[in-house]
Structure 1
Amino acid sequence: MIGDLHCHTRMSDGALGVDDLILYARRGGLDFVAVTDHDTMAGVRRAEQLGRRFGIGVIGGAEFSAWDSARGRKVHLLCLLPKRPDRLEGTFRRTLEGRDRAMRESMKKVMRFFPVTEEHILRHAQGAAAVYSVHIMAALRDLGYTESLYGDLYRELLLGPDGSCFVRQEYPDVHEIAGLIRSAGGICILAHPSSYDSIDLMQELAENGEIDGVERYHPRVKEEDIPVIDAVVGQYQLIPTGGTDFHGGNTRHPSPLGSCLTMQEPLERLFRLSKSRN
């Protein structure tokens, strides 16, 4: 029994639609796949229907964007199997509205430098809950200004405060989100702790009992972080999950679906914990 517990679709910034994600998860030999789009569960119901049709288990969830104010860094938390997803909707809505507003401002800035149209960019964003940088870059690639979605032009225009067209977005506090996930009856997993240098935060969240697991297996985990992650997972009896953070080709470092897996024992622990949650 194996599962990939971190996957994105075109509901956020992934390359595949929900239908294709479930189809390829089944063809890839997975028993379970988690649909964890950014700040939305809009694709989960469809994924569950297709999972029943294709004979693959679908774990509903989302990847929350949050802010570690103590360290001044962005952080992601995975919410899996929430019993009361309606409690998440207000935060989803505020985050998505903020993201869409910021990205549309960025889009207007980009349009001052390039003859790309808003309509063209929004075609790439069709079906997504908000506009993402990948949609802007895809339109620029269509017009021949870049061959890479996340290459030099992306860094020049949209990557962080140094990007000429970057517009800052506010994110909710990580501790607030961890509490929200628990109140919704979900499983709270710290996603890819290496990606945002979240090792110190991992220790803090674990000590406070705010997380249930850590995404131990991820394509971009740093070798030097592994012993620390393993030590924290062992000390606090956290669930070590694996997820590819699958975006298809819509990422700097593409990895095939199922590249990083959650094995049977942690899957069973996750399901037992979910069952025990009120």
Structure 2
Amino acid sequence: MAADLHCHTQSSDGSDTAEEVVLMAKMRGLSAVAVTDHDTFAGSAKAIGFGKKYGITVVPGAEFSCVDAETGRKAHILCYCCDAPEKLEPVCRRMQDTRRKAGDAMLEKVRSIYPVPAEMVMKYVRRSTCFFKQHIMHALIDAGYAGEIYGPVYKKLFSSSGGVAYVKIDYPEVHDVIGQIRKAGGIAVLAHPAEFDSYGLLDSLSASKMIDGVEVWHPSASKDAVSRLSEAAAEYGLAMTGGTDFHGMYTKISYPVGSFTTPDEQLGKLLMKKHNWRKI
């Protein structure tokens, strides 16, 4: 059996509820699932209750959006089993406020092109802790202006290189965020390094013992990337995790829950990391 340690719900930029994600994991025969919504533990908290209801282990988590100051590239950090998630609320709130302001600005630009009622967008925003581009795209699909989330309309509006409604978001620095995760008693895992070409960051974070694991099995990781990440994990003694990065219909390429997973022995190694550094 195995665990899918990377799933998103309506609490951030996923299209499905926490209950639906937990049920899908159960039906796929997984031993465990983690709801790791962006910059919030809200989805995870809901999932834990449904895990008890349906008899599947839910690993509490969240995914923090960051930037590597050295390269300027995005970096995502998965946080698991946090002892005091409330200590990370200031980090979450700052990111939520930033996204909300950016979302409002993007929506204003979009509505100058497509006359979509704001309420058609806000009904999706309200079920989340943040305002995401996917909420705008869902409303544009409902209104008949687009046929898919990530298609020509999305590119026209939100491409970082010339999108007419694109608004740049300022993310917190990755080392600062990991420091806050550590203070809150959380496990830190570098998410999908292959997606952001974060191999240099992986080396530096590993050498300084700032992370406990690396996400090896992920839709963005080719066979060569999996091999490279596995070698790095062995070199630095990191746990190797896997996750589908499930977003439901809010995704470029669809994979069901459980398509990319963490072997049970690696999940055990990840949790043991926390047990060990608690002793230090």
When the two structures are superposed, what TM-score results if normalisation uses the length of structure 2? Answer: 0.96
In the other structure, the counterpart of 1:119 is: 119
In the other structure, the counterpart of 1:257 is: 257
What SS is found at the alignment partner of 1:194? helix
In the other structure, the counterpart of 2:73 is: 73
Unaligned runs of 5+ in 2: none
Shift of 1:221: 0.6
Counterpart mapping for 1:34-73 below 5 A: 34-73=34-73
Of stretches 217-226 and 143-152 in structure 1, the one that deviates more from structure 2 is: 217-226
Deviations 1:154-174 (A, max 9, x none): 011012142110111111001
Distance 1:100 1:222 in 2: 34
Counterpart mapping for 1:10-21 below 5 A: 10-21=10-21
Deviations 1:170-215 (A, max 9, x none): 1100111111111111111110111111111111111111111110
Distance 1:32 1:20 in 2: 14
Amino acid at match of 1:24: M
Q: CA RMSD in A?
A: 1.2
Deviations 1:2-25 (A, max 9, x none): 110000000001011011111111
In the other structure, the counterpart of 2:273 is: 273
Shift of 1:90: 0.4
Flag the 1:115–1:154 CA change in 2: closer, same or farther, 3 A: same
Amino acid at match of 1:89: E
Distance 1:136 1:228 in 2: 37
Unaligned runs of 5+ in 1: none
Distance 2:2 2:34 in 1: 11
What SS is found at the alignment partner of 1:50? helix
Shift of 1:253: 1.1
Shift of 1:72: 1.0
Equivalences, count:
278
In the other structure, the counterpart of 2:219 is: 219
Check the 8 A contact 2:192/2:218 in 1, yes or no: yes
Shift of 1:272: 1.9
The answer to whether structure 1 residue 243 and structure 2 residue 233 are counterparts is no
What SS is found at the alignment partner of 2:77? strand
The answer to whether structure 1 residue 104 and structure 2 residue 104 are counterparts is yes
Distance 2:271 2:207 in 1: 23
Check the 8 A contact 2:44/2:62 in 1, yes or no: no
Shift of 1:274: 2.9
Check the 8 A contact 2:88/2:181 in 1, yes or no: yes
Amino acid at match of 1:165: A
Amino acid at match of 1:13: D
What SS is found at the alignment partner of 1:227? helix
Check the 8 A contact 1:185/1:277 in 2, yes or no: no
Check the 8 A contact 2:18/2:47 in 1, yes or no: yes
Shift of 1:277: 4.7
What SS is found at the alignment partner of 2:188? strand
Check the 8 A contact 1:161/1:167 in 2, yes or no: no
Check the 8 A contact 1:189/1:213 in 2, yes or no: yes
Shift of 1:146: 1.4
Deviations 1:68-107 (A, max 9, x none): 1111111100001111111110000001100111111001
Shift of 1:45: 2.3
Distance 1:54 1:167 in 2: 41
What SS is found at the alignment partner of 2:26? helix
Identical-pair percentage:
40
Check the 8 A contact 1:137/1:154 in 2, yes or no: yes
In the other structure, the counterpart of 2:132 is: 132
Distance 2:45 2:174 in 1: 26
Distance 2:192 2:150 in 1: 19
Distance 2:73 2:222 in 1: 18
Distance 1:225 1:163 in 2: 30
Distance 1:110 1:185 in 2: 41
In the other structure, the counterpart of 2:147 is: 147
In the other structure, the counterpart of 2:86 is: 86
Shift of 1:227: 3.0
Distance 1:45 1:136 in 2: 26
Distance 2:191 2:140 in 1: 30
Deviations 1:88-146 (A, max 9, x none): 10000001100111111001000000111111101122310011000000111112111
